[in-house]
Amino acid sequence: MNDAAERHLPGEPAGLAARLHGLLRLRNSRSRVLVTGWFSFLDGEVTAGDALAERAVVTALDHLGIRHDTAWSPVFAPGALTLEAALPQDYEAVLFVCGPLHGERIAELHRRYASCRRVAVGVSVLDPDGPAARGFHEVVARDGTTGAVTADLAANAPVPTAPAVAGVALTYGQGEYGDRRIHDRVGEVLLPWLAAQDCARIEADTRLARDDWRHCRTPDQYLSLVGRLDVMVTDRLHGLVLALRAGVPALVVDPVEGGAKVTAQARLLRWPALLPGEGLLPELLDHWWAWCLSPAGAAAARRRRTWLLGDTVMRSPVTECDDRDV
């Protein structure tokens, strides 16, 4: 490892690109670079920071017009390029991005790609004289025993869109409905569908707790949480009601065959984004998900909020919540 670890690594794409150009020292425009990190190892943990650091480096390589591939753990990204499939003879250089430089897996990376120029950027250097660090031709550290600290690559990685924040409030109980319970069937469709959506998912369990930090302690805390969501996905009555009270659209599934209290409350509020648990399909979820995140869905939820926060006792919302919503 040389004194590159002491120098600042610019975070902006143009600055990072200029730095990488000097570090990689590629022979010609046909050269290809392999981007690796702890996210590449079979049992390596993939964090949001890892993925954003990879994105920052890939963006810089694109800026330079350098051909590149990224090796991902097959556990995290089935079907993507793996280290096993990334043959050393196909690459002139290997970039190791983010994370600590230590351990046998990085030593194996050096052995496998011994014929390639190896550069580490945005990493923690635990032992500058150890084999993991010394195996690289160039190291640019974010921190370590040298005392130098630079901004992490994830801090300035491009984020083209801000995905929706979705609260998820589901129930697996309600044994009082007996044979009419279809909660498991609903979950078999809803949960895989939800995992595939481009959104930040937050468990918004309506259950309160005094000794569990994962749950809100008071209803006021819960309403504060819900009010910060873009959408609520729920099969609970209070998941629906408290979302609309906060003016947040709710994608609602009734997990009781034939409909029960969830359906009754949704009909009272004339809330259209309601699906019966029986016959639940991803296509139906897609439709109402898009509607909930549309301006129309947001406006409809705000109208319900206005009605719910008024004097709702013994009044029907029919005149306040009209058919403009759909």
Which residue carries 């109208």 as its tokens? Answer: 303
Residue 253, amino acid: V
Q: What is the pLDDT of residue 316?
A: 57
Query: What average pLDDT does this structure show over 113-129?
Result: 94
Same domain, 217 and 125: no
Task: Please check whether residue 37 is in contact with residue 98, taking contact to mean a CB–CB distance below 8 angstroms.
Answer: yes
Q: What is the pLDDT of residue 189?
A: 95
Q: What is the pLDDT of residue 315?
A: 57
In a domain, 324, yes or no: no
Q: What is the pLDDT of residue 324?
A: 54
Task: Please check whether residue 127 is in contact with residue 66, taking contact to mean a CB–CB distance below 8 angstroms.
Answer: no
Same domain, 218 and 295: yes
By DSSP bridging, strand 100-101 and strand 117-125 are parallel
In a domain, 326, yes or no: no
Q: Is 252 left (phi over 0), alpha (psi -120 to 50) or beta?
A: beta
In a domain, 94, yes or no: yes
According to the 3-state scheme, what is the secondary structure of the chain? Answer: CCHHHHCCCCCCHHHHHHHHHHHHCCCCCCCEEEEECHHHCCCCCCCHHHHHHHHHHHHHHHHHCCEEEECCCCCCCCCCCCCCCCCHHHCCEEEEECCEECCHHHHHHHHHCCCCEEEEEEEEECCCCCHHHHCCCEEEEEEECCCCCCCCHHHHCCCCCCCEEEEEECCCCCHHHHHHECHHHHHHHHHHHHHCCCEEEEECCCCCCCCCCCCCCCHHHHHHHHCCCCEEEECCHHHHHHHHHCCCCEEEEECECCCCHHHHHHHHCCCCCEEECCCCCHHHHHHHHHHHCCHHHHHHHHHHHHHHCCCCCCCCCCCCCCHHHC
pTM of the full structure:
0.82
Number of domains in the chain: 2
Same domain, 148 and 186: no
Measured distance CA(51)–CA(46) in Å, rounded: 7
Q: Evaluate if residue 8 carries a pLDDT over 50.
A: no
Which are the contacts of 109, defined by CB distance < 8 A and separation ≥ 6? 36, 83, 94, 96, 118, 135
In a domain, 226, yes or no: yes
Decide which of 156, 189, 224 is a domain's last residue: 156
Q: What is the pLDDT of residue 160?
A: 83
Cβ-based burial of 43 (10 A; exposed 0-12, middle 13-18, buried ≥19): exposed
Same domain, 70 and 108: yes
Task: Please check whether residue 151 is in contact with residue 15, taking contact to mean a CB–CB distance below 8 angstroms.
Answer: no
Task: Please check whether residue 168 is in contact with residue 202, taking contact to mean a CB–CB distance below 8 angstroms.
Answer: yes
Q: Evaluate if residue 145 carries a pLDDT over 70.
A: no
Report which of residues 104 and 314 the model is more confident about: 104
Same domain, 178 and 250: yes
Same domain, 233 and 179: yes
Q: What is the pLDDT of residue 322?
A: 52
Q: Evaluate if residue 320 carries a pLDDT over 50.
A: no
Same domain, 70 and 7: yes
Average pLDDT, the chain: 89
**pLDDT band at 2; cut points 50, 70, 90:** very low
Mind listing the pLDDT tens digit for each residue in 214-246? Answer: 999 999 999 999 999 999 999 999 999 999 999
In a domain, 67, yes or no: yes
Decide which of 91, 124, 156 is a domain's last residue: 156
Mind listing the pLDDT tens digit for each residue in 171-227? Answer: 887 778 778 888 889 999 999 999 999 999 999 999 999 999 999 999 999 999 999
Would you mind telling me the total number of residues written for the chain in this entry?
A: 326
In a domain, 253, yes or no: yes
Same domain, 89 and 225: no
* CATH number for the domain that contains residue 142: 3.40.50
* CATH number for the domain that contains residue 216: 3.40.50.2000
Q: Evaluate if residue 314 carries a pLDDT over 60.
A: no
In a domain, 323, yes or no: no
Residues spanned by the domain of 299 = 164-318
Task: Please check whether residue 223 is in contact with residue 262, taking contact to mean a CB–CB distance below 8 angstroms.
Answer: no
Query: What average pLDDT does this structure show over 268-273?
Result: 96
Same domain, 115 and 218: no
Q: What is the pLDDT of residue 4?
A: 37
Same domain, 174 and 67: no
Mind listing the pLDDT tens digit for each residue in 158-173? Answer: 888 889 999 999 988 7
Same domain, 130 and 197: no
In a domain, 254, yes or no: yes
Same domain, 147 and 52: yes
Q: Evaluate if residue 118 carries a pLDDT over 80.
A: yes
Decide which of 156, 187, 206 is a domain's last residue: 156
Q: Evaluate if residue 11 carries a pLDDT over 60.
A: no
